[in-house]
Chains A and B, each alone.
Chain A
Amino acid sequence: MKAISKKLMIGGVAVATLLAGTAGTLMAQQKPVIATVVKISGIPWFDRMNTGVEAYQKANPDVVATQSGPATADAAQQLQIIQDLIAKGVNALAVVPMDPAVIEGTLKRAMDRGIVVVTHEADNQKNTQADVEAFDNSDYGKALNVRLAECMGNKGKWTTFVGSLGSRTHMQWVGAGEANAKTHPDMQLVDPNNESFDDANGTYEKAKEILRKHPDIKGFQTSAGNDVLGVGRAIDEAGLSGKVCLVGTGLPNPSADLLESGAITAIGFWDPQKAGMAMNSLAKLLLAKKEITNGMDLGVEGYNKVTVKKGAGDGLLVIGNGMVLADKATYKQHLF
């Protein structure tokens, strides 16, 4: 028994070493590889992004574009994937960070090795060459509020929901919304910045409370993806569909019923498909050592005239105009 195990072990190790020796001579792939790494795979948002990566691959046969992501929502798992991809020798990384802070060290190591790094949804990422954002956050918040004000006839009580008070983008959105509402003196903000924690049920309870407390409320502006569903359900059940306006971030498929019933006035979002394509397009430009300039066309809808600013670190912040506002009449064009 002992002898056998020893022999097996020595044999195995010998074979492995032999392979390791010969392996180095094999050549790597010729085409540059752009690897997209998402927060978590298998959820609708990033499945939609994957269609963008596939479309990009089809349109650009001179590069290899792939997408991967962890099976669990854990920054450590995403980190491992990025490390393995660096070791595999990809030419460019397009990352949607689960937690920008956690992957700073690894992205720096990647850039030190000459790998092009592009990020998305991380305007505070320091170690990136370019961070792509679908839109300017204050423009988006303003656009939501303009739509809300229009529905409310520029007057009446309204309130806001955010995912959490610590969520930077959500606070920027409602902040810009409030600024816009100030131009309409008859709009009165009540009990602002309710925290929803992106939980449709919790939001539903809270919205019911607000409807009881302010029976004359006219409008809701929401931020997290599930907020429109919770508030929409509360409005629907109170029989106020069409009487109370609701504009917020949401996705077309889950919101379809409430949009049809009129409980949701309009939803705002950006299309992850286009964002995925824009990241890849930007990565390819950077691989070709092209300069990214203000007003440039990335060849992707919504990113035809990007604004380029200085980012959080040495990299650039590339802002598109990928905002989509959809209502009952138009949401069917964006079903995902």
Chain B
Amino acid sequence: MQTSSGQLVMLVAINCLLLIVGAMISGGTFLSLFNMQSMASQLPELALLAIGVMLAMCAGNGGIDLSGIALANLSGVLSAVIVSSFLSSADSEMAFSVSFIVVAVAIGLIGGTINGLLIAKLNITPILCTLGTQMAFMGLAVVVSGGKAVTVGSPDLLSRIGNDLFLAVPINFLIFAVAAIVIAAVLRFTPYGFWLMMTGTNPKAAVYAGFPRTGVIVSTYAISGTLSGIAGMIIAARNVNVKFDYGSSYLLIAILIVVMAGVKPEGGYGRVVCVVLSAIALQLMSSLLNFGGLSNFVRDFAWGLLLLTFLAVGRYDVVDFLTPMRRQPNPSASIPRTPKPNN
């Protein structure tokens, strides 16, 4: 996997570079513990959505999940409305928090399953299906909340998830890290991961090989939906209020993260660690520009540039190109290169 490790190296290098540049412009504050924590707590909502998009893309057949942020908002809004109808966040703090989290994640799971069923059973193209559900989720959130922000408040457990640290690491970041590790492990060690990548590579062959295609697709979108539910819960925990139109810019950024992470848009390949690193790179860059006091339009430009760089890296093996002497004298170490399809 030449490209994949090349991508990983590039991502790590970019992250280090951004840290160094940040330290230089800010005279050190960029690397302060507090800023690290602040950036770490900003990251999860977007990175969770990006992992969801990655899974959908890996499923192949033009797989994508456009409904992520809309579903995250719906989870937060609907859960807040449902739970506060029978519990008060001020009186029974713990019960409120726990039910809020459970309901939010469950709504995410249900929403994702609906996506999966529509795509697998009715054979709707994912981009159209999730575009439709995105609008439906957002519309439902508007109806339920009356278009206004819904107050969740800061009951004990939720406020801790949103604000507190565990061993100097923000708790919401830990939740995200656990989710990412679980998904990475599932993709690597379970038959599901193998089925997903193989279905993405060649759906027809996967069906003839006896893979449960429907099951794989439904569960993929269900996982993606669950991640949205978790993101919605984290948004609520941090912001005290939830609103239907929060993060309207996240959709495209999540896709950008995924493409930058080298996930193949045609399906069959993607690594969680790359997605996480790529999300971190975007976070570092956007915080960096805010530190430097640069216009946010520069940020869009820089992201575009970064994306093009990564597409170039994916196409040509830049790391090998930069270190040509490693290739010739060491033939035994190199794996025989196979011509790369579609790449």
Chain A residues within 8 Å of B, Cβ to Cβ? 1-5, 8-9, 12-13, 15-16, 19-20, 22-28, 41-42, 66, 68-72, 74-77, 79-81, 83-89, 99, 101-106, 108-109, 166
Contact = CB atoms under 8 A, between A and B. Distances in A.
Nearest to A88: B291
A19 B296 CA distance: 26
B213 interface: no
B240 A1 contact: no
Contact of A8 (B12, B19, B148): B12
A105 B2 contact: no
Contacts of A108: 240
18 contacts: A2-B333, A3-B333, A5-B8, A5-B319, A8-B9, A8-B13, A15-B16, A19-B20, A19-B31, A23-B23, A23-B28, A27-B27, A41-B297, A76-B249, A86-B38, A88-B35, A101-B240, A102-B241
A99 B148 CA distance: 10
Contact of A104 (B30, B239, B293, B323): B239
A101 B12 contact: no
Majority DSSP secondary structure for residues of B touching A: helix
Majority DSSP secondary structure for residues of A touching B: helix
Interface of B: 2, 5-6, 8-9, 12-13, 15-16, 19-20, 23, 26-32, 34-35, 38-39, 41-42, 45, 147-149, 151, 154, 162-163, 238-241, 243, 245-250, 286-287, 290-291, 293, 295-297, 299-300, 319-320, 323, 326, 333-334
A75 B246 CA distance: 6
A13 B16 CA distance: 7
B297 A42 contact: yes
B291 A84 contact: yes
B250 to A, nearest CB: 7
Give 8 nearest A-B pairs by CB, closest first: A23-B28, A101-B149, A12-B16, A84-B290, A26-B28, A87-B38, A101-B241, A71-B296
B27 A28 contact: yes
Contacts of A9: 8-9, 12
Contact of B5 (A2, A23, A26): A2
A13 B14 CA distance: 11
Contact of B297 (A3, A12, A71, A104): A71
Contact of A109 (B8, B16, B23, B163): B163
A26 B286 CA distance: 23
A202 B319 CA distance: 56
A83 B239 contact: no
A76 B27 contact: no
Nearest to A69: B296
A104 B241 contact: yes
A1 B334 contact: yes
A15 B19 CA distance: 10
B240 A77 contact: no
Given A12-B16, A26-B27, A68-B296, A77 B32 contact: no
Nearest to B162: A105
Contact of A87 (B45, B287, B300): B287
B286 A16 contact: no
